[in-house]
């Protein structure tokens, strides 16, 4: 029995669905015996998610045709704004040959000259980021968690902004609204001002720079409540974006953990042996018992089963 090509679309005729090489069956459950399958060595079943999602534990730096390839984890990098800033900063360095960004895993891969890594890390730090070499992070703990930020500054800023609006509507002295607005801006806007200043200093007019200019302009013309409320709402929007990305990261990591590390593979003498999924070669024949997860992508060649694909497709009923 031969395997399909790594990027060839293929069918699973016994359980009634088809998918391309980007899909996988690694987290599907067999509810009836599946006798055997042909395995392919690519796709998420092999432990590497497709698309822009890199390995959860990046490899160590390796030599390439353009020099050294180094993976750098930057916990503050989670949106295109930071990516554009890094592209401009590192792109101006003659020692850098190329860059690849993985915002989901907050990993920047840089191709550079062998002796340039210290300068690259210094350039990243000058943007207010905290880079760490991916191979220096613990392989057992996975991704380094970002330090938790206290909630009280945002609550204080929100209360002060609302109070500033109220005092303005109530006709109270203007200095009261101004004082409350300044409290709100200082409580939640310092980070935005820092990012905006770094962007302007590096010749980038990004959203942080524009927001800093807008709020400062509102303060200068005496629109205190508006300045405070705009800064608070922008901070809340940034927080929602970060939380959404964290949920996506956790969902991907959880899906990858569902893939079993071992599978039952048929030997040359016809016996069955449990082996590590990553060590199973192409054209191998697997046996999946009821209730087991399918470890690798492949094609069902004998037996009949119902397969639960809910972790991948969300389908509530098993597929025949």
217-221 contact pairs (CB < 8 A, 24+): 219/181, 219/182, 219/185
DSSP 59: P
- How many Å apart are CA 290 and CA 224, to the nearest integer? 66
Local confidence pLDDT in tens for the 320 residues of the chain:
333 444 444 444 434 444 434 344 444 455 444 444 444 443 333 334 333 433 333 443 444 454 788 999 998 888 888 899 999 899 889 889 999 998 888 899 999 988 889 999 999 999 989 898 877 554 434 555 566 778 899 999 999 999 999 998 988 888 999 999 999 999 999 999 999 999 999 888 899 999 999 999 999 999 999 999 999 999 999 899 888 888 887 887 777 777 788 888 988 888 898 888 888 888 888 888 888 888 888 888 888 888 887 777 777 777 77
pLDDT reported for residue 60: 39
DSSP 141: T
- How many Å apart are CA 154 and CA 266, to the nearest integer? 59
Q: Domain spans of the chain?
A: 10-47+259-313, 62-136, 152-255
Q: What contacts 175, CB < 8 A, 6 or more positions away?
A: none
How many CB atoms neighbour CB 124 within 10 A?
22
- Parallel/antiparallel/unpaired status of strands 29-30 and 307-308: antiparallel
Structure tokens given for 281: 């070669």
Of 272, 252, 248, 255, nearest to 310 (Cα)? 255
Place of tokens 């694909």: 309
3-state secondary structure of 67: strand
62-136, what's its fold?
Alpha-Beta Plaits (3.30.70)
Of 86, 84, 93, nearest to 130 (Cα)? 86
Place of tokens 């089963």: 305
3-state secondary structure of 152: helix
- How many Å apart are CA 297 and CA 9, to the nearest integer? 12
pLDDT reported for residue 292: 84
How many CB atoms neighbour CB 274 within 10 A?
8
pLDDT reported for residue 33: 45
Q: What are phi and psi of 298, to 5 degrees?
A: 180, -160
Q: What are phi and psi of 47, to 5 degrees?
A: 100, 5
């Amino acid at each position: 029995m031969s395997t399909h090509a790594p990027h060839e679309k293929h069918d699973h005729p016994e359980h009634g669905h088809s998918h391309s090489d980007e899909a996988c069956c690694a987290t599907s459950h067999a509810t009836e015996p599946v006798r055997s399958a042909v395995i392919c060595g690519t796709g998420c079943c092999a432990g590497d998610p497709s698309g822009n999602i890199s390995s959860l534990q990046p490899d160590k730096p390796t030599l390439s045709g353009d020099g050294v390839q180094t993976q750098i984890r930057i916990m503050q990098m989670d949106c295109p704004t930071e990516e554009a800033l890094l592209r401009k900063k590192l792109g101006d360095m003659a020692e850098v040959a190329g860059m690849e960004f993985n915002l989901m895993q907050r990993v920047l891969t840089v191709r550079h000259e062998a002796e340039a890594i210290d300068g690259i890390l210094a350039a990243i730090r000058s943007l207010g980021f905290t880079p760490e070499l991916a191979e220096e992070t613990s392989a057992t703990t996975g991704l380094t968690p970002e330090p938790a930020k206290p909630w009280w500054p945002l609550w204080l800023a929100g209360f002060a902004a609302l109070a500033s609006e109220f005092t303005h509507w109530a006709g109270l002295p203007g200095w009261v609204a101004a004082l409350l607005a300044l409290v709100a801006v200082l409580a939640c806007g310092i980070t935005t001002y820092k990012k905006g200043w770094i962007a302007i200093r590096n010749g980038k007019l990004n959203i942080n720079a524009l927001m800093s200019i807008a709020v400062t302009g509102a303060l200068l013309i005496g629109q205190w409540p508006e300045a405070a409320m705009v800064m608070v709402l922008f901070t809340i929007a940034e927080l929602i974006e970060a939380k959404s990305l964290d949920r996506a990261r956790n969902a991907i990591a959880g899906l990858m953990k569902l893939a079993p590390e071992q599978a039952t593979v048929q030997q040359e003498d016809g016996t069955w042996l449990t082996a590590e999924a990553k060590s199973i070669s192409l054209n191998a024949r697997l046996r999946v018992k009821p209730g087991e997860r399918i470890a690798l992508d492949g094609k069902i060649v004998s037996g009949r089963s119902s397969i639960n694909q809910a972790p991948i497709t969300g389908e509530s009923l098993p597929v025949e």
